[in-house]
Structure 1
Amino acid sequence: MKKDISNTTIGLIGGGQLGKMMIMEAKKMGFKVIVLDPAKDCPAHSICNEHIPLSLNDESAIRILSEKCDIITYEFEHINVDALLKLEEENVKIYPSPKSLKTIQNKYTQKAALLDADIPVPDFIYVENFESLEEAGRKFGYPFILKTCTGGYDGKGNFVVNSSDDLEEAYHYLGGSKAGLLAENFVNFNMEVSVIACRGIDGSLSVFPVAKNTHVNNILEETLAPAPVDKNISDRAMNIAGKALNLLEGVGIFCIEMFITESGEVLVNEIAPRPHNSGHYTIEACATSQFEQHIRAITGLPLGDSSLIRPAAMRNLLGEPGFSGPAVVKGMEDALKVKGAKVHIYGKAQTKPHRKMGHVTVCAETLSEAAELCKKAKNLIRIVSEKEDNYE
C-alpha cells in the first residue's frame, strides 16, 4: 500500500527567500509548512501555515518545531547541527541529514571527505597556528586563500593572502588561533560553475545542467545555463556532483560549486546542502525547479525531470549602494516589457547596499540572447529606500 502523504507538515528552519520559494512549491503539492525564523517579517512569513519567531540556533525552538512537523528541512546551513543530531537520534526525520550537514558546515572536514573519496579539490591544509600559516605560504606560494572553517558566505570569512606581508593581517582578521582556519591553493580558474543535484530518500539521483557563474565583489551577479563548456567537461562536472551526493548520503537539493581551469581540470570549491542562488534559473528553464525537486525528495516522492527546456540567464537584484531602510522597487513596469523577463521580488522589508532583494530570469532560443535580455531587464530595476533624496 502506498503511503498517504496528504497531511504531511514540513518544518522549515529559515524563512528567507529560499524558504519562501520552497514553500511555494510545497503548497502546490498540498503540504503544510511551519517556519522557524526570528524575523517576524521574513519573506516566508506571509505564505507559511505557521511562523515560530525564535532563533535558528535555539535548541528548544528547534524542538518545538519538530513536535509540530513530520519532516524538518532548512534553507541555511549555519544552524545548530548538534540539536538536529539529537532529534535524529529520537527518529525525527531531517533532510538533508544532520550528519551530512555537520561534514559540510566545516570547510576542512568537507574538503577532507571529498579528497578521501577521490573527488578533485584544490590543495589545502589546516591552519592551527601562525607557524602553520607561514608554512602555507611556503607550500602554495602567493597568492593563496585563507578561509574560516565554519561560517562565511558571499566571500565573508575569506582573505586573499597576496604576500608574506599579509600573513599577520589575514590571520588576525579571520580570528587567529581562536578560529579554525583553512589555507587553500589559489586556483587560476578559467570559469566558475555550479551543479544543482538532488538525491532521493531511495538513493535516486537527479542532476541539473552545469551553469556558469560570474561573481562581483564575491556576490553572484549572473548565472548562465547551460554553461558554455564542452560535453566532456560538462559530463565530468555532473558525475562529480552525483559522486559527492552519494558520498554524503544526502537527501534533497545540494549545490556543488566548482572551478574549471584552463587545462580542463574540474575542482570542487564548496558544497551547499540546500537550494542555491545559482539554481534560481531552474524555476523557468527546467522541467522541474530546484525547489520542487527538494520538496519531492524530502517527502519521498519520485524526483522530477531536471532537463533544461531552453537556455537561460539569471541576474540578482541587489540593494542599491547608498540606501538603507524600507525597500522600494523601481522600474518593474519597464523591466517586464523586456521579452521573456521574469522578475522575482523576495519581499524583504528592509533594503541595504548589496543585499539580495530579488532576481530576474530570461529564457530564450540562444544563451547569448538570454544573457543580453536578462542584463537589460536587470538594469531597469532599482531597489532603493523611501529616503531616495538622501542618495549620494
Structure 2
Amino acid sequence: MSVLNGKKILLGISGGIAAYKTASLVRLFIKAGAHVQVIMTPASKDFITPLTLSTLSKNPVYSSFYNQDDENEKWNNHVELALWADLMIIAPATANTVSKMANGTCDNLLIAAYLSAKCPVYFAPAMDLDMYKHPSTLANFTFLKQFGNTIIPAESGELASGLSGEGRMAEPEHIVAFITDDLNSKLPLKGKKILITAGPTYEAIDPVRFIGNHSSGKMGFDIASSAANLGASVILISGPTNCTVSNPLIHVIPVVSAEEMYLACHQFYADVDAVVAAAAVADYRPKHVAQQKIKKAATNFVIELEKTKDILASLGLLKKNQFLIGFALETENEIENAKLKIQKKNLDLIVLNSLQDEGAGFGKATNKVTFIDKFFHIESMELKSKEAVAADILNKIMMHFGMQR
C-alpha cells in the first residue's frame, strides 16, 4: 500500500509548458489512492485545460478567487482548500511562481492557498537552464527551503527553448517516487519492528472438532495496519481469521493452535522493539487428541483438558528492551484483574476490554478500552471504531519511544 493512499493532495499548476505533464501526475496520484484537488494559475490554462484535470481528478478545478461565469458569484475559499490538504505540490513551479512563493506576492488563487497551507509543501521547478541557475532563482529556492518547503530537483534534458540542460520538471513518475520516498523516510515508526498477535487459536479435539472462541482478529489486524502505515515493520502472527492485509510492511505468519503461536512468538521476539498481544489464545487444550473423528455414542462425553503455555507471561520473563502490551477481556473486577495481569506477566501496558460495555467485545466493529500502564495509571477511552482504538495503541507505542505522529 502506498504511503499516499488516502492522502488529500492539493496540486498547484503554474504556467509553463511542463503543465501538460500534470495530467499524468494526477492519474498517478489517483492510482496511489490519493484524493486530488487542482488549483491552476490563469496562465497554466494555456497549456492544459481545466476540463482535462477535472475529469481525471473527479473534482472541480479552481483558477480564480470566484466563479466569474456564475450568475451567483461564489468565492473560492483558498483557506479551506489549504486546510483540506495533507500535502501541497506545486508542479510545474515556474520561475515566476517560485518568486511569488518566496516573496509572498499574492496575486492569484494558487499563491493565496500556498500562503495559507499548514501541510508539507513540495515544489517541482520547471524553467530554462539560465533561469534555473540565475542567482535570484537560487536565492528563492533557498528561501523556500528555509520556510520548510521541499524542492523536487529539476532534471536535465531538452528544454522548450531548444537548449539542453538542467531545468526540466521532474517526470511525473519521479515526482511521485520522490514524495513517496520522502514521506516514508519521515514516518515516526520507521526502523521499528513490532510483533502483533491476532485472532483466536483452535485446539483440536479430533480431526474435525476443536475448542475455540469468537475472536474475529479484526483488532489485531487493525493494529498491524496502523503500525505499518506509520512505517513499522510488522510481524503479524494470526490464528484462523478471514481478515486480510495489503501493506507490504506486514509479514503474516498463520498459525492454528496456542502451541504454534507460542513457537512463532518466541522465534521473532528477540529482534522486535514492541509486542502487542491482541490474540485470544485458548487457556486450555484437550490433553489427548483423537486421531479419528469421535463417534456419537455415550450420553455423556468428557474431554480432559490441560493448560496451554502462557505466551504473554513467557515473553515477560524474557523481556529486555521490548515494550510489551497485553490485552485483558474481563467480565467482573475488571481493573483489579487487569492490574494483577500486569504484575504477573511483566507488562508495560494492558488494554482492558469489558464485556459489560455495549459495543465492545468479539465480532464487533467498535471497541471500548481502558489503558492501564505498569505504574497503574488508568486512562478510560470512549467507544470508538477498532481502527481508532488501534491508532490510540500506536500512540502509546510512539510515546514510549519518544515519537510523535
Q: TM-score w.r.t. structure 1 length?
A: 0.31
Max radius of gyration: which structure?
A: 2
Structure with larger RCO (C-alpha < 8 A, sep 6+): 1
Structure richer in strand, relative to its length = 1
